[in-house]
Amino acid sequence: MKVYMEQGILQENARQAEENRALFGKTLVVNLIGSPGCGKTTLLEKTLAALGKEFRMAVIEGDIYTTKDAQRIEACGVPVVQVNTAGGCHLSAEITARAAADLDLADLDILFIENVGNLVCPAEFDLGEDCKAAVLSVVEGDDKPAKYPLLFREAGVVVLNKCDLLPYTNFNMDSALADLQGLNEKAPVLQLSAAREEGLEPWYAWLRRAAAEKKA
Ligand code: MG
Ligand code: ZN
């Protein structure tokens, strides 16, 4: 009987992630991780519309079931591959490699991977991306960075979304920012509202810089 231990799974994943990194070449790959409903797909829709003339972009959509998010991305006119994990709560490097095989990577400046909505295990699985983007909406609560530290430690950028709703929540921004700073001094924290298209410029500037660094 073969028993796979978690350690073995992560080692195999790390090996495949290295292969993916080679495969991705000069394409900037951003792995979006956040809870269901935090606004990952909305952030992507706005980004694809705003930067469509500057960059060749594509999206891998990870969901447990349905093609609902992929349909929204397809409407933006960019290549999209939907991955259904059929119950799986995160994307792996292997499933990412299979999805990426359907894309013309040499023809892309930025590949976004929208991970399965979950603050926990997606952070454990390296997909070969350049950067994890942690997305947290303020309606989820200011305690989430401290409660789910791995994601926020690993993130290259943190998006605090739905900031237009701050007056209707008890989200303590000072407390959240202090926790984020304690976990990760390097990642910029961007306060914005994707749905309202407020505060998106620093996010676009971050993407432009990251894409240019990858090309260099
Ligand atoms: Mg989504
Ligand atoms: Zn999982």
H or E element that contains 79: none
Six-digit token string for 204: 């676009």
- Tell me the ligand closest to 10's alpha carbon: 2
- State in Å: Cα 88 to ligand 2 middle: 6
Q: Is the pLDDT of residue 3 over 70?
A: no
Cα end-to-end distance, the chain, whole Å: 49
Tens digits of residue pLDDT in 35-58? 999 999 999 999 999 999 999 999
- State in Å: Cα 170 to ligand 1 middle: 25
Residue 17: closest CA among 127, 132, 103, 96: 127
Six-digit token string for 94: 């292997």
State the chain's mean pLDDT as an integer.
96
- Residue 166: HSE in the Cβ half-sphere, 13 Å Cα cutoff: 13
Q: How far apart are CA 84 and CA 92, in angstroms?
A: 12
Q: How far apart are CA 122 and CA 132, in angstroms?
A: 10
The residues facing 14 across adjacent strands are: none
Phi, psi of 157 (to 5 degrees): -155, 145
- Residue 64: HSE in the Cβ half-sphere, 13 Å Cα cutoff: 7
- State in Å: Cα 142 to ligand 1 middle: 21
Tens digits of residue pLDDT in 162-188? 999 999 999 999 999 999 999 999 999
What is residue 4's predicted lDDT score, i.e. its pLDDT? 66
Q: 105 Cβ partners below 8 Å, 6+ apart? A: 23, 24, 25, 27, 111
- State in Å: Cα 98 to ligand 2 middle: 18
Neighbouring residues of the ion ligand 1, judged by CB less than 5 Å: 40-41, 69
- State in Å: Cα 135 to ligand 2 middle: 17
Tens digits of residue pLDDT in 49-87? 999 999 999 999 999 999 999 999 999 999 999 999 999
Tens digits of residue pLDDT in 188-207? 999 999 999 999 999 999 99
- Tell me the ligand closest to 71's alpha carbon: 1
- Taking residues 144-153, report their average pLDDT: 98
What is residue 1's predicted lDDT score, i.e. its pLDDT? 74
- State in Å: Cα 62 to ligand 1 middle: 8
The pTM of this model reads 0.96
- State in Å: Cα 80 to ligand 1 middle: 13
- State in Å: Cα 91 to ligand 1 middle: 13
What is residue 6's predicted lDDT score, i.e. its pLDDT? 72
Give the CA dihedral 62, 54, 187, 176, nearest 10 degrees: -70
